[in-house]
Amino acid sequence: MDQSALSGRRIVLGVCGGIAAYKAVEVCRRLGDAGAEVSPVLTRDATRFVGPLTFDALAAGPVRTSLWDSPEPLPHTRLGQEADLVVVAPATARLIGTYAAGISSDLLTATLLATRAPVVIAPAMHSEMWEHPAVVENLARLRRRGTHVVGPVTGRLAGGGSGAGRLADPADIVAAVAAVLAGRGDLAGVAALVTAGGTREPIDPVRFIGNRSSGKQGYAVASELARRGASVTLVSTAALAAPPGVSVVEVGTAAEMEQAVAARGDADVVVMAAAVADFRPKAAAAGVKLKRSDGMPEVVLEPTPDILAGLAARRRPGQLLVGFAAETASAPGASGGGTPAENLLGAARAKLAAKGIDVVVANDVAAPGAGFAHDTNAVMIVAADGPVVEVALASKSTVAAAIVDAVVGWRHRHGGALSPSPPTEEHR
């Protein structure tokens, strides 16, 4: 983390009423230790979980809890105008909804509406709330307006159970704030959707049709997009730790992935890195494990939905679609009849045309050290209207950086905004 980006910066720390409010104390401490001047704003419900005196002891500015507890007549205006950044941690479903709707129901929401500084929110709530269509739509609206979203992550939740909705680690929240202030944002204000991992299509409750995709490359792409300022949602089948600043939606099958992607398909950038099964059993053995003693089962397959082609068919102007092509270009008898590079390029261009998308990242999974399960990869990045970029065997994070470079290049060529656009009248 570049702590110099925080030194001397005025940061409003909003705290909402949720059990994760106690973690905001650590966010406040870390911001102060890095040299930031922190002004905490607690909602009335936040004070039920953590006392204002705690923040008073850590923050540079006085703790505010109401529009009416200050001698100045317009505290929200002053806070909003003087802030270099506003961060809300935790951000509840209520805060997200009121902010998205432009409702100033308390000092915190009034400050959010009164500022032109960057805004970072760190949602925290139970899984059912996080996945509710209203919350999904409200977050999508905020992302389109340039709000940076950090987390949530998957983990143990209040009240028992585990799932998506746990507040991001305070260190990751502070790192995201520092990244925004440091201006590492050639994709600031851009909403990105990434898929990762291999889908599993059930034969019975125990067995499935799948592939060897680990999800590592998709996670690396999501991490790089977030590092460069994008608000990233990752739809994943993989059991990997969520990258800092990335919201993860867990799925298992192609149908579940299709549903999750469709709900978020209006993102500015969509990177389909997941290895989606092409076929699935037409009828899985519901609730009953098939046994050897029952004889060889007849498994009838049907095609899975073509998620990427579906996105392309309903894409909006200016949206960038990136697909992946896992090929065996160097395997004996590979189709194409040319060199591995020629075969890979041919497959990539064929996929560009067939899917109607903008960029294809092709890799040869038969090549040593590349493809599934490895920590390294070698790819060919082919744009429909740009140069072909070959990345020799390297770490998947290095490959991810090249892919995101291609995303930025495409947006340059197509006039995509590389920083948040000025608010429209609708959003003022």
The one-letter amino acid code at 291 reads K
Domain that holds residue 332: 191-413
Give a yes or no: residue 425 inside a domain.
no
DSSP 28-53: HHHHHHTT-EEEEEE-TTGGGTS-HH
Q: What is the pTM of this model?
A: 0.59
* Closest alpha carbon to 219 in 268, 291, 154: 154
Residues 122 and 220 in one domain: no
Residues 127 and 198 in one domain: no
Q: Do 155 and 211 fall into the same domain? A: no
**Quick one: which of 311, 396, 330, 383 has its CA closest to 353?**
383
> How many structural domains comprise the chain?
2
Cα–chain-centroid distance for residue 168?
Answer: 12
Distance of CA 425 to the CA centre of its chain: 27
Domain assignment present for 16: yes
Strands 279-281 and 301-303: antiparallel
Q: Which of 138, 211, 343, 377 is catalytic?
A: 211
Say whether both 209 and 169 belong to one domain.
no
Out of 121, 149, 175, pick the residue that ends a domain.
175
CATH of the domain at 25: 3.40.50.1950
Strand, coil or helix: what is 72? coil
Please indicate, yes or no, if residue 180 is contained in any of the structural domains: no
The answer to whether position 423 is within a domain reads: no
Residues 407 and 330 both lie in one domain = yes
**H or E element: which one contains 349?**
helix 340-355
Query: Where among 143, 175, 207 does a domain terminate?
Result: 175
33 and 128 both lie in a single domain: yes
**Same structural domain, 244 and 384:** yes
The answer to whether residue 181 is domain-embedded is no
129 with 252, same domain: the answer is: no
Strand boundaries in 269-383, DSSP class E? 269-272, 279-281, 301-303, 320-327, 359-364, 376-383
Residue ending a domain, among 175, 204, 231, is 175
Task: State how far the Cα of 87 lies from the Cα of 121, in Å rounded to an integer.
Answer: 6
Q: Is 211 assigned a catalytic role?
A: yes
Alpha-carbon torsion angle 337, 342, 343, 345, nearest 10: -150
- Alpha helix (H) residue ranges in 126-253: 127-130, 133-144, 170-182, 216-227
Q: Would 56 be classed as within a structural domain?
A: yes
In this structure, is residue 183 part of a structural domain?
no
Give pLDDT tens digits along the chain (428 positions): 456 678 788 889 999 998 898 899 999 899 888 888 888 999 999 888 888 888 888 887 788 888 777 666 667 777 888 888 899 989 999 999 999 999 888 889 998 998 888 899 999 888 888 888 888 888 888 877 778 888 787 777 777 777 778 888 888 888 888 878 876 567 877 899 999 999 999 888 888 888 888 999 999 999 889 878 788 999 999 988 888 778 899 999 999 999 999 999 889 999 999 999 888 988 877 778 888 887 777 888 999 999 999 999 999 889 999 999 988 877 666 666 678 888 899 999 999 999 999 999 999 888 888 878 788 898 999 998 877 888 888 888 888 988 998 998 888 788 764 333 333 333 22
| Residue 275 is assigned to a structural domain of this protein | yes
Residues 92 and 197 in one domain: no
